[in-house]
Amino acid sequence: MIRVPEIRVIDEDKNQLGVMPVQQALALAREKGLDLVEIAPQASPPVCRIMDYGKFLYELHKKEHEAKKHQKQVQIKEIKFRPKISIHDYNFKLKHVRRFIEEGNKVKITIMIRGRERAHPEMAQQIMDRVLSDVSDIARQDGEVKMHDWASTVLIVPIRTGGKDAKTKNQQSSQKEVQDNSQQKGAAQKSQQEPHSD
C-alpha cells in the first residue's frame, strides 16, 4: 500500500531507524512479526512505523471511547413554580432542581404568573429568591432574571461543592427554612399557600 521508494522508519519502541527502501522496512517488520504502518504520509520522505496494527487500532478505539465517556452532554432543564405553590409541591420541585444541578445540568427556573397574580409581581419574586437561596450551596445564577407578562425566568448553573454529605445537609436545612417561613405567614396569607400543582 506504500507507493514511494523510500521511507523514514520508526521501530516499535519509537526509535528512529533512518531512511530506507520500503522493501527493507517491510522485511524488518516481518522479522518481528509486526506491520509497517504509514503515520505521516505528507512528510518527505513519508514516515512509517513498525507496530502491531491490530493493537494500534484497538488502543485508538479505546481512547476515543474514553474521550466520549468524559464528554457529558450538558442539558438545560426547566422547572416551573407558581407564586401560590404549596410547601409540598415546592419541596418536590426543589428536589428535581437539585438533582439536575448535581448531575451537571443547567436549570431554567420559571415562575408562572396568571390572572390576578400579575398585580402582585413581588409574590413571584419571593419564590424566585427562595429557590436561588435554597440551591446557593450547589448552583449560581447565570445572567439576569428575565421578566415577562406571563412569567419570570432565570438560568442557574452548577458550582463546585464540598461533597454529597454537604449537599444533603444543606438541602434538609433549606427545606426546613421554607416550612418555617410558611408557618410565619399568618392567616391573611393562608389562602395564598393552598396546594396547587401545574
Q: Domain boundaries in the chain?
A: 1-53, 76-179
Question: Residue 111 — φ and ψ, nearest 5°?
Answer: -100, 105
Question: Residue 155 — φ and ψ, nearest 5°?
Answer: -105, 135
Q: What is the DSSP string of 124-183?
A: HHHHHHHHHHHTTTTEEEEEEEEE-SSEEEEEEEE---S-HHHHHHHHHHHHHHHHHHHH
**Spatial distance between the Cα atoms of 141 and 136, rounded to a whole number of angstroms:** 9
Q: State which fold the 1-53 domain adopts.
A: Ubiquitin-like (UB roll) (3.10.20)
Torsion of the alpha carbons at 149, 88, 105 and 167, rounded to the nearest 10 = 130
What is the residue type of 3? R
Which of 16-25, 38-47, 116-125 is least confident?
Answer: 116-125
Alpha-carbon distances of 41 from 44, 46, 47, 48, 61, rounded to whole Å: 8, 5, 6, 8, 21
The SS3 assignment for 82 reads coil
Domain 76-179: CATH superfamily is: Translation initiation factor 3 (IF-3), C-terminal domain (3.30.110.10)
Q: 74 vs 171, which has greater pLDDT?
A: 74
pTM (two decimals): 0.45
Band (pLDDT 50/70/90 cuts) for residue 89 is: very high
- Residue 78, H or E segment: strand 76-81
Q: 23 vs 192, which has greater pLDDT?
A: 23
* pLDDT at residue number 92: 94
